Amino acid sequence: MADWISFWNGSHAIYVNDRHKAVHYRAIARDLAGYVPGPQARVLDFGCGEALASAELAGRCGRLVLSDAAPAVRERLSERFADVPSIEVMAPEEVSALPDGSFDLIICNSVAQYLSRDLLAQLVAEWHRLLAPGGRLLIADIIPPHVSALADAAALLKLAAREKFLLSAVVGLARTAVSPYRKLRAELGLTTYEEAEILALLRNAGLDARRVRPNVGHNQQRMAFIGERTA
Ligand SMILES: C[S@@+](CC[C@H](N)C(=O)[O-])C[C@H]1O[C@@H](n2cnc3c(N)ncnc32)[C@H](O)[C@@H]1O
């Protein structure tokens, strides 16, 4: 059976055009920048995908580890950042092998929906271990159960109208309706969470948790949370 990692590992068209992709990553870069605690910070971007905002993020911290489960994604990132000593690309297993307290900020944006509940709980426990005291986990773009694919489409159209790619967005949405993404979403579903569930998950792992607004990126029906390691 197909799975999400194979989907992300293959070629896919989740952006309606280049402008959409550029607008998406610009918004992410802007939103994430505010969470980097300082120029020496060690940052992990887990499930980083194409990581188009990484150059900007790397410029604001001391070390940036990009990790993604899809080998083809990692290969492209390794090539792209071969000459940037402050950026390292790692498989999730390599991240798991890092010593305690390796990071000051861990970012997990728009990934939780592709993970099982059990895997997210395991990862949050691991991230607690990997955070230095005072370090923070930013887990964002969490989909609440009441936010449907239709609501996601409406959020995209609103963004497209503001950023002047509305026509491409309408065409792109029609294309997405018959795309492998939609087929897989119907088959496997996306994992959704209530606000209280994420807060409990972070607190059970020993993190000091709160919801933060705005969410990272354009879709404000989705949620963002900070989990801080206090000791
Ligand atoms: C929607 S993309 C998000 C990319 C990026 N974080 C962003 O905000 O644009 C989801 C990414 O999560 C990755 N992913 C899915 N399951 C994963 C797992 N178990 N471990 C690590 N990465 C995973 C996928 O390969 C994909 O690149």
Segments of the chain scoring below 50 in pLDDT: 1
- Provide the pLDDT for residue 207: 98
Rounded Cα gap, residues 67 and 74, in angstroms: 7
Query: How remote is the CA of residue 141 from the centroid of ligand 1, in Å?
Result: 12
pLDDT digits (tens, 9 = 90+) for 93-134: 999 999 999 999 999 999 999 999 999 999 999 999 999 999
Question: What is the set of domains in the chain, with CATH numbers?
Answer: 4-228 (3.40.50.150)
Order the strands of the 208-212 sheet from edge to edge: 87-90, 63-67, 42-46, 103-109, 131-142, 223-228, 208-212
The model's pTM: 0.92
Rounded Cα gap, residues 196 and 185, in angstroms: 24
What residue owns the CA closest to ligand 1's atom 15? 5
Rounded Cα gap, residues 39 and 59, in angstroms: 8
Q: Which two structure tokens, joined as six digits, stand for 8?
A: 């992300």
What residue owns the CA closest to ligand 1's atom 1? 110
- Provide the pLDDT for residue 150: 83
The number of angstroms, rounded, from the C-alpha of 133 to the middle of its chain's C-alpha atoms is 23
CA-nearest of 70, 66, 73 to 46 is 66
Whether 138 and 226 have beta carbons less than 8 Å apart is answered as yes
What residue owns the CA closest to ligand 1's atom 6? 48
Mean pLDDT score of the chain, rounded to an integer? 92
CA-nearest of 75, 57, 55 to 10 is 75
- Provide the pLDDT for residue 74: 97
Query: E strands along the chain, which residues?
Result: 42-46, 63-67, 87-90, 103-109, 131-142, 208-212, 223-228
Query: How remote is the CA of residue 67 from the centroid of ligand 1, in Å?
Result: 9
- Provide the pLDDT for residue 44: 98
Q: Which two structure tokens, joined as six digits, stand for 133?
A: 């005291």
Q: Which helix (H) or strand (E) holds 126?
A: helix 117-130
- Provide the pLDDT for residue 115: 96
Q: Which residues line ligand 1 (CB under 6 A)?
A: 4-5, 8, 28, 47-49, 68-70, 73, 92, 109-111, 114-115
Rounded Cα gap, residues 115 and 92, in angstroms: 13
Query: How remote is the CA of residue 110 from the centroid of ligand 1, in Å?
Result: 7
